């Protein structure tokens, strides 16, 4: 899985909610609940906010929203989402 950052697609370095590494997705009800869970503030942590129907990640400073998740073999033109590389060269 890749994220577009600083002009290039980088491998997504997500962190598990328990700090165990790997990607995880945590569900919270609203932004108020998210604000109280400072333990989730690890770069790359994915959080789904139920009340907003929105997927966000901690970018190191704040919870940033994704516009889209692309599952395809070529990099998408839209740089505001996550790209899951399905090509044989993908990681």
Whether residue 62 has pLDDT greater than 50: yes
Whether residue 82 has pLDDT greater than 70: yes
What's the pTM?
0.58
Q: Over 35-53, what HEC string results?
A: HHCHHHCCCCCEEEEHHHC
High-pLDDT (> 70) share of the chain, %? 81
Residue 24 to residues 21, 31, 40, 59, 72: CA-CA distances in angstroms?
8, 18, 11, 15, 21
Q: What pLDDT score does 30 carry?
A: 94
- Averaged pLDDT of the chain: 79
Please state the rounded mean pLDDT for residues 9-18.
59
The CA distance from 46 to 51, in Å, is: 16
Which of 18-22, 42-46, 57-61, 83-87 has the lowest average pLDDT?
18-22
Six token digits for residue 63: 């919870």
Residue 68 — pLDDT band, cuts 50, 70, 90? confident
């Amino acid at each position: 899985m890749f994220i577009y950052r600083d002009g290039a697609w980088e491998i997504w370095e997500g962190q598990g909610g328990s700090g165990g590494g790997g990607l995880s997705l945590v569900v919270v009800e609203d932004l108020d609940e998210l604000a109280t869970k400072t333990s989730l503030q690890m770069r790359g942590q994915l959080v789904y906010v139920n009340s907003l129907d929105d997927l966000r990640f901690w970018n190191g400073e704040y919870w940033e929203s994704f516009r889209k998740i692309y599952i395809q073999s070529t990099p998408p033109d839209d740089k505001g989402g996550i790209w899951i590389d399905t090509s044989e060269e993908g990681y």
